[in-house]
Amino acid sequence: MDFSTNRADGVATLRIEGELDAVSIPEVRPTIDTLIAERHPRIVVDLSGLRLIDSSGVGALVFLYKKAKEYGGTVTVRGLRDQPLSIFKLLRLDRVLLA
Amino acid sequence: MLPADAGKGAHAQQALKRVVAGLVRGNMGAVLVGETVCVEAPGELAYRHVILRAAAAVCKLAITRVCGRRAPADGFSNQVVSALGEAFNNIALHSYHDQPAGIVRLRMTIEPSVLLLKMEDYGAGFDPSTARAPDLEALPESGLGIFIMRSLMDEVTYQQGRPNVLSMSKRIRECPSGLPRVSGKRTKNGLLYE
């Protein structure tokens, strides 16, 4: 799993590639916590390079969404396809998180 | 309708052997027992990818037998891999939580139009039948793994013991991309196609 962040024009973008699962979550979790602590009004999660997600990965993204909502921010997910998109639809997350 | 012996026989056995050989070349502890591909790995999260890569390879062979050698396995494979990933997480994070991680053994058997999976471990166990269905409207952050397994597989059963055995099955209902189901002809390498 690779990830990067970019902050520009009032938007913080978190790009995650590869696999977001129970193995890789500990790597990206501090970055998620930082984005929340910085209270970005608009966070975009770019998952166009994500091949696989599991319930742990979903849980981390839902955590980010809920925390941002608490301070009035928004989180949108873009670029989902294949297995990650199927999991989002199964868990009905596409209605709240997809751009 | 596939013939009763579809997926069996010398050619099918050779195809299974090639899958196992590919896994072994990838440093995975895989063996072929009869018609069943067996993969073993330590029950630690670091070995999750071993189990999932092996399952993806067997899924590809399973759907090829039903739909033909050019059939994509993405949809079927993604669902099986997703369910198995959750099952492995449960073993690594819960069943072996309070003890040194033991072995996880995955047995995969390709029947004519169904893939049978048995995942074994020697930990404390977890019973999927005791898990409540999540309230998806509340956007839960945890407790989704068993729901994913049940949703994506046709059958999920669990037997606690030594070892604990999680059994799952998934039918290959339809061929992707409009590909026809095969009538049972075999190629020289054991694959089925029309």
B15 falls within a domain: yes
B82 touches chain A (CB under 8 A): yes
More confident residue, B171 or B14: B171
Query: Between chains, do A82 and B74 touch, taking CB under 8 Å as contact?
Result: yes
| Architecture category of domain A2-97 in CATH | 2-Layer Sandwich (3.30)
- The domain that holds B28 is classified in CATH as 3.30.565.10
B194 falls within a domain: no
pLDDT of residue B116: 96
Kindly list the distances between the CA atom of residue B136 and the CA atoms of A68, A71, A88, B17, B143, in Å, as whole numbers in the listed order.
19, 22, 11, 42, 10
Domain range for B124 is 10-178
B103 touches chain A (CB under 8 A): no
pLDDT of residue B122: 96
More confident residue, B29 or B79: B79
SS3 letters across B141-160: CCCCHHHHHHHHCCEEEEEC
Helix, strand, coil content of chain A in percent (nearest 5): 40, 35, 20
How many domains does the structure of chain B reveal? 1
More confident residue, B174 or A23: A23
B3 falls within a domain: no
Which residue from A66, A87, A92 is facing B82, i.e. has the nearest CB? A87
B171 falls within a domain: yes
pLDDT of residue B70: 57
ipTM over 0.90: yes
pLDDT of residue B158: 95
B75 falls within a domain: yes
